[in-house]
Every structure is written in structure tokens, then in C-alpha cells.
């Protein structure tokens, strides 16, 4: 997979206990939390757009139809 530019920052708020478990699970698979979050986001984009993500694609090319709420809630 081609390397992507990692210049944008995404800040999220998460329960401290959930963060600790997430970090332990990431360490268990020898991955950083950032790597796992990038993978989760890529999988989400592919699921919502219905096609594979390719490095260098723009937002307009992968935008999902505007249906329902655009807000994502963590559980």
C-alpha cells in the first residue's frame, strides 16, 4: 500500500478506560494507536463509498450520498 501524507490532525475525546484498553490491544498487535485508527478510518471510507481507498484520492471522489446524520457516535 502506498504511503500517505500524514499531515492532518484528528482530535477525539474518549473515555480514559476505553483509551487504556485500546492502547493495550494495539500494543498486543505491535501497532500504534494511530496506525489502528488510520486503518479503521480507511475501512470505514471503503465501506461507505463501496469501493477500495487509494492513496491520493480527494474527499469529493469518495463522498457518500447525503443520507442520515453525518455525526458518528462512538460506543
C-beta of residue 55 within 8 angstroms of C-beta of residue 4? yes
Q: How far apart are CA 51 and CA 29, in angstroms?
A: 27
Structure confidence by residue, pLDDT tens digits, 36-50: 999 999 999 999 999
Task: Please state, for a pLDDT cut of 90, what percent of the chain lies above it.
Answer: 57
Q: Is the pTM of this model over 0.95?
A: no
How many domains would you assign to the chain? 1
Domain membership of residue 43 (yes or no) is yes
Domain membership of residue 6 (yes or no) is no
For 22, residues 6+ apart whose C-beta sits below 8 A from its C-beta are 14, 33, 36
Give the range of the structural domain holding residue 29, as residue numbers without chain letter.
Answer: 16-52
Domain membership of residue 75 (yes or no) is no
Amino acid at each position: 500500500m502506498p504511503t500517505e501524507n500524514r499531515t492532518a490532525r484528528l482530535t477525539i475525546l474518549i473515555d480514559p478506560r476505553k483509551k487504556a484498553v485500546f492502547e493495550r490491544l494495539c500494543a498486543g498487535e505491535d501497532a500504534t494507536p494511530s496506525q489502528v485508527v488510520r486503518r479503521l478510518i480507511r475501512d470505514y471510507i471503503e465501506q461507505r463509498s463501496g469501493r477500495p481507498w487509494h492513496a491520493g484520492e480527494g474527499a469529493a471522489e469518495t463522498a457518500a450520498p447525503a443520507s442520515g446524520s453525518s455525526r458518528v457516535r462512538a460506543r
